[in-house]
Amino acid sequence: MSLPATIRPEAESDVAEAYAWYEERSPGLGLEFILAFEARLALVEQSPFACQVVHQQVCRALLRRFPYALFYVVEEERLVVIACLHAKRNPDLLRRRVSGG
């Protein structure tokens, strides 16, 4: 079952922040991060139920090469990306986004 993805503005901001951080350290590395994010998102769209549920109905998909995870929920006919966070990030941030706070 394939589902189209919608990326919340907060998640877009997460990706942009990570891109800038990697690009600042090594030109071109930010683009590699974006490509890793897009590749993982494409896989999740193809198999939205293949990833682990980590909180309530939030699923986590790990990015290759980078210590980041894409967090999403499956709704009726789409999946919604709510965050793209570093693995060392405080999990309370994810819980606040899920609860809408």
Task: Kindly report, residue by residue over 3-14, the tens digit of the pLDDT.
Answer: 999 999 999 999
Residue 50: band (very low, low, confident or very high) from pLDDT cuts 50, 70, 90:
very high
Calpha distance 12→76 (Å, rounded)? 22
pLDDT tens digits, residue range 80-90?
Answer: 999 999 988 76
Average pLDDT rounded to a whole number, residues 26-47:
97
- Are 101 and 82 spatial neighbours (Cβ–Cβ below 8 Å)? no
CA proximity to 18, closest of 99, 94, 81, 87? 87
Backbone region of residue 32 per phi and psi (left: phi > 0; alpha: psi in -120 to 50; beta: other values)? alpha
* Domains by residue range for the chain, with CATH: 5-99 (3.30.2310.20)
Residue 98: band (very low, low, confident or very high) from pLDDT cuts 50, 70, 90:
confident
Specify the DSSP element, H or E, that contains 86: strand 79-86
Residue 100: band (very low, low, confident or very high) from pLDDT cuts 50, 70, 90:
low
Calpha distance 15→101 (Å, rounded)? 20
- Are 61 and 51 spatial neighbours (Cβ–Cβ below 8 Å)? yes
